[in-house]
Amino acid sequence: MEFREFDIEGPLELLPTKRGDERGYFSEILRMEPFVARAGPVEFVQDNQSLSVGPGTIRGVHFQIQPRAQGKLVRCTVGSVFDVAVDLRQDSPTYGKWISVVLDAEKLNQLWIPVGFGHAFCTLEPSSVITYRVTDYYSPEYDKGVAWDDADIRIDWPNVANPDTLSHKDRVQPAFADLPPLFWAKDK
């Protein structure tokens, strides 16, 4: 397995090796020891799965705040998605910046999004499915977000992105400039 780092400290792309023959392939998707060596101590407590029927479906930017903040390991198991992590750590030199990865079911790549980041995605194919492991349980009380099209963050969404697919929750998320301090680089 290979790991790719970004200009923003924290997120990692995991790139597993596929070994195939005429029967199909085998791939080790996650090995905790090398992952923890790069990401730091991580304990996953819940697995989630999301199906988006149409291409261009936008979900996010979502995150949970302390004391229920979540790190997420995201993977696309059917189709492909444009996956985004936004740095929300107040004391970070990359505060408000974002990275993206195309997660693809054939490629088997994953994106590690640590605590202190918002997460969003846009489906690139019909009936795309993502699964993600999280480091804390879902908690509606601590579930927050920021506008997907915020003018300060300026995510460069793919052309297929369709704002008509937004949930009510995502249509009313606050602007980045209106967020109080939520995370610090030392948060885990």
Predicted TM-score (pTM) of the model is 0.96
Specify the pLDDT at position 186. 73
Residue 62 falls in the annotated catalytic set: yes
Report d(CA 25, CA 21) in Å as an integer: 6
> What is residue 71's predicted lDDT score, i.e. its pLDDT?
98
Low-confidence ranges of the chain (pLDDT < 50): none
Question: How far, CA to CA in Å, does 71 sit from each of 11, 37, 56, 64, 95?
Answer: 10, 16, 25, 9, 17
pLDDT at 187: 67
Q: Which two tokens stand for residue 69?
A: 């903040």
Intra-chain end-to-end CA distance of the chain, in Å: 24
pLDDT (0 to 100) of residue 188 = 59
pLDDT at 137: 98
Place of tokens 């990401």: 39
Indicate the fold that domain 2-178 takes in CATH: Jelly Rolls (2.60.120)
pLDDT of residue 159: 96
Q: Which of 62, 95, 138, 168 is catalytic?
A: 62
Q: Is 132 a catalytic residue?
A: yes
What gap in Å lies between CA 25 and CA 81, rounded to an integer?
22
Residue 46 in tokens: 């819940």
Report whether 136 contacts 70 (CB < 8 A).
yes
What does the chain look like in DSSP terms, one character per residue?
A: -EEEE-SSSS-EEEEPPEEEETTEEEE----HHHHHHHH-S----EEEEEEE-STT-EEEEEEE-TTS---EEEEEEESEEEEEEEE-BTT-TTTT-EEEEEEETTTT-EEEE-TTEEEEEEESSTTEEEEEEESS---GGGEEE--TT-TTT-----TT--GGG--HHHHTPPPGGGPPP-B-TT--
Active-site residue, from 119, 132, 137, 138: 132
Residue 86: closest CA among 142, 160, 157: 157
Q: What residue ranges do the domains of the chain occupy? A: 2-178
